[in-house]
A and B are shown apart, each in its own frame.
Chain A
Amino acid sequence: MATVTVPAPRSPRSTRTRRTTRTNVEMLGWMFMRLSGVLLLVLIFAHLFVNLMVGDGIKAIDFAFVAGKWASPFWQVWDLLMLWLAMIHGTNGVRTIINDYAERDGTRLVLKTLLYLAFVVTVVLGTLVIFTFETCPAGAPTELLPSFCTE
């Protein structure tokens, strides 16, 4: 006679696979999104206003215009802040979207690796440009340079 084993009722079915993390990373990320969002509103709209509306507006933008701006530490800091805040804000946003929508761990890993790679390349390149920008490159035609180069 075959014995039938009946599983005990109400036995715990699955052990939790959730890893408990005891850090504030998610909370800090959440707060960063709010704070940087407010800051970026100011930074970006002032940037757009200065570049596109003031003076000759969009027609004034050329090498000399950008070089003139980046000769001043004020705009260097402004653009650097904008770059970093926007990149972290955007990357964190896309990270949460990947977390929300990617169902498989493998997909998640690939997408996030690509995302972080893009982040590093953009931020490093952008930071490098802002700090090492040559305002008056030697041997360039003077009419293309900002006015203070020839003085």
Chain B
Amino acid sequence: MTAVAENSTSAAETKAGEIPSFDVTLRIRRLDPDRSDEPFWEEFTVTAHATDRVLDAMHKVKWEVDGSLTFRRSCAHGICGSDAMRINGRNRLACKTLLKDLDPSKPIVIEPIKGLPVLKDLVVDMEPFFASYREVMPFLITGGNAPTAERRQSPEERARYDDTTKCILCAACTSSCPVFWTDGQYFGPAAIVNAHRFIFDSRDEGAAQRLEILNDKEGVWRCRTTFNCSEACPRGIEVTKAIQEVKRAMITRAF
């Protein structure tokens, strides 16, 4: 008896709160190195719900239409930073971009992030990006003996670099940077953000070394403050501000 009653109410509820669905076209820039070195555009039209993200539509394509569509994604919830791509000309995470925010009446243009070599479809070679990241030594550097208890830090000291701890290394910022596009030698915003995270950490003693590395010809001085990185960051990190703070630290160190 009760089961029947429950069923009827839940059916009525789904009808009342039904999620509107619509057809959306994904225009994807693809590359199949086994077939040709020339990238090509392909359009897929799938039915999606208003609550769907770009990633859901791409899953639908991959799982139901064309299994050869290649892209990275791991957690699919904006934490792992695997699915950064250029959606309608802006770097975003496919898992954090809702279709309904993108005007689904027009085709949604999806490209791999720029400035890094494309391996297949939306998968790029992240190695140059991570090489720069490794170069700024993104780990705690301390001298002397390790303390027997934890290394203490006041809330104010922690707040100093809070913004740059949010980085998930998705490369949305670095691959939105016009300096990085033409000159892959530039460290790029992400490496500087992660250096900032340690340079301004009161427990860290490697700030001088990191500043020295970033004072390089291809370091922070190549930043043109175009704010592309701050705009691209899916975590809302004020990337350009962090870069300027590193610049200021260098100037106050030198004079």
Interface on A for B, CB 8 Å cutoff?
13-14, 16-22, 24-27, 29-31, 96, 99-103
Q: How many angstroms between the C-alpha atoms of A21 and B221 in the bound complex?
A: 13
Q: Are B250 and A27 touching (Cβ within 8 A)? A: yes
- A-contacting 9-mer, from B33-41, B176-184, B194-202: B176-184
Q: Mark B179-191, 1 if CB is under 8 A from A, else 0.
A: 1001101000000
B251 at the interface (CB under 8 A from A): yes
| 17 residue pairs from A and B, CB less than 8 Å apart | A18-B216, A20-B213, A20-B216, A21-B217, A22-B212, A25-B217, A26-B215, A26-B216, A27-B250, A27-B251, A29-B221, A30-B247, A99-B222, A100-B179, A100-B182, A100-B222, A103-B182
From residue 36 to 57 of chain B, which have CB atoms closer than 8 A to chain A? none
Contact of A99 among B183, B216, B250 (CB under 8 A): B183
**Could you tell me how many residues of chain B have their Cβ less than 8 Å away from some Cβ of chain A?**
23
Task: Across the A-B interface, give the 5 residue pairs with the lowest CB-CB distance, nearest first.
Answer: A26-B221, A30-B221, A21-B217, A13-B127, A18-B185
Q: How many whole Å from B81's CB to the nearest CB in chain A?
A: 18
Residues of B within 8 A of A25 (CB): 217
Q: How many whole Å from A17's CB to the nearest CB in chain B?
A: 7
B131 at the interface (CB under 8 A from A): yes
Closest B residue by C-beta to A20: B216
Contact of A14 among B131, B216, B219, B254 (CB under 8 A): B131
Contact of B178 among A17, A20, A30, A100 (CB under 8 A): A100
Residues of B within 8 A of A22 (CB): 212
* Given A13-B127, A14-B131, A101-B182: A19 touches B250 (CB 8 Å cut-off): no
Contact of A27 among B128, B178, B221 (CB under 8 A): B221
Q: How many whole Å from B93's CB to the nearest CB in chain A?
A: 24
Residues of B within 8 A of A24 (CB): 215, 254
* Given A14-B131, A100-B178, A100-B179: A27 touches B215 (CB 8 Å cut-off): yes
Contact of B135 among A13, A16, A21, A96 (CB under 8 A): A16
Residues of B within 8 A of A102 (CB): 182
Contact of B217 among A16, A19, A100 (CB under 8 A): A19
Residues of A within 8 A of B251 (CB): 27, 31
Q: How many angstroms between the C-alpha atoms of A100 and B80 in the bound complex?
A: 31
Closest B residue by C-beta to A15: B131
Q: How many angstroms between the C-alpha atoms of A99 and B179 in the bound complex?
A: 9
Contact of A26 among B178, B179, B219 (CB under 8 A): B219
Residues of B within 8 A of A96 (CB): 222
Q: Are B250 and A17 touching (Cβ within 8 A)? A: no
Closest B residue by C-beta to A29: B221
Q: How many whole Å from B161's CB to the nearest CB in chain A?
A: 22
